[in-house]
Structure 1
């Protein structure tokens, strides 16, 4: 079901084309500063750390599980985001989120966080492999994922561990998945191959003030990095769930920007 409020365009035509070409679009003020502050308060409490005492920041990354409190639901379901989902994925082709998934909270720390490799996010398991994310898979019709989303709950500058993005990498990943069939490729295999064939592409950083959301193509190659500044970085990186898989053979040719990008990559 889509929001009744998503009746206006959140993205310009140029932003839609940027999404197709580059694989992501930055939505500023996607949710309010007050909502971001409410979410941070919960995340600080769950982390066991103090926002005002950096001596409590004893690890480079702390992972908080799925949260569904009201502020997180509000952040995920603003009119601006619903309108953007309609534009990028298509009317009635996505499912509203009732939570925001997991949260990698990153802190300034001398230890290697151990999770900074280039990858694309897997989106579905084969039967019997549900418990091991490393065995989850990605296929050409992006079963289980309409978008990758990066929600910023703190202000994120260049030194604050912003997610790294390989611009246009999603187009090359389409080619990798073309011959993999409905079962697709497992996370580690597709990520290793995607890292190799996109190493020459330019980079971008998912930075911005709290309340910013990056809407990314599900095949976008990206990576975490350590915080090199003085501030903690709080974000969520949930999928937008699809209502069905991508359709790359529409008789009416009513392709969404997500589908158009896949088809462009296959040319």
Structure 2
């Protein structure tokens, strides 16, 4: 499989924590996924007066259109370059969907956070899930756009370079790491970082370092936003110290943070 990312793009990922892949999957696949999602929403696709909530959460999605969207040759090539061949597990679900609607109401889920990757004491309580300095379980965070997203369509806010600050923070917490809420309580104390909006056409995928701080925001546009944010799971664990091998870009970024 040919490599699709340049050395400059890999360097950007290490330093800034993300890379945008345009045309990662086709408009046809996005349209099929949207049809499934709209069918599950208790509102009318053609009648904005029925869009009464700022965000509606839908359950796990693993139909063929979703599988096809995140298992393309282009994405596989990037996974290999960022994580290493045979070190990641192909996605069989894109997880839950927070569908964002144009609204004057402020959504209640716009806090800065880092996605966690392994269960805490209660596996059913996501707020108790944890993340550690080796990013146990997770190789990447993906932001997968199924609708066109402009700057007014509630694009995810990415805090450029924040993954390095989080690596430094987690390096003091050992294998147990921090829970979702413990880490969320510390991210506002991290250095101020440039805000980047995750915009793009349907079929765009942002591949993000697992430690990247990000947040949702209110929708000020007119077209509902459909985006999934599945993890790319690790096969094995990351190596961030005393390795005889070359470090992957994900590992290099963590090492940059912990010095």
TM-score of the superposed pair, with normalisation by structure 1: 0.95
The answer to whether the 8 A contact 1:152-1:212 is kept is: yes
Displacement after TM superposition at 1:20 (Å)? 0.2
Q: 2:253 aligns with which of 237, 261, 267?
A: 261
Deviates more, 1:187-196 or 1:61-70: 187-196
Answering whether residue 228 of structure 2 is matched by residue 231 of structure 1, we say no
Displacement after TM superposition at 1:192 (Å)? 2.0
The answer to whether the 8 A contact 1:148-1:215 is kept is: yes
The whole-number CA distance in structure 2 between the counterparts of 1:210 and 1:192 is 33
The whole-number CA distance in structure 1 between the counterparts of 2:104 and 2:33 is 27
1:133-148 pair list within 5 angstroms? 133-148=126-141
CA distances 1:185-205 after superposition (whole Å, capped 9, x unpaired): 11111122123213x211100
The whole-number CA distance in structure 2 between the counterparts of 1:165 and 1:33 is 24
Q: Secondary structure at the match of 2:24?
A: coil
1:1-267 pair list within 5 angstroms? 7-126=1-120, 128-198=121-191, 200-267=192-259
Displacement after TM superposition at 1:48 (Å)? 2.0
The whole-number CA distance in structure 2 between the counterparts of 1:194 and 1:139 is 15
Structure 1 segments unaligned to the other structure (5+ residues): 1-6
Displacement after TM superposition at 1:266 (Å)? 1.3
CA distances 1:86-141 after superposition (whole Å, capped 9, x unpaired): 00011100000111111110000111210000000111113x41011111111000
Displaced runs of 4 or more, over 6 A: none
Displacement after TM superposition at 1:59 (Å)? 0.5
CA distances 1:42-70 after superposition (whole Å, capped 9, x unpaired): 01111122221111111000111111110
Deviates more, 1:28-37 or 1:252-261: 252-261
Displacement after TM superposition at 1:250 (Å)? 4.9
The whole-number CA distance in structure 1 between the counterparts of 2:95 and 2:214 is 18
The answer to whether the 8 A contact 1:120-1:191 is kept is: yes
TM-score of the superposed pair, with normalisation by structure 2: 0.98
CA RMSD of the aligned region, Å? 1.0
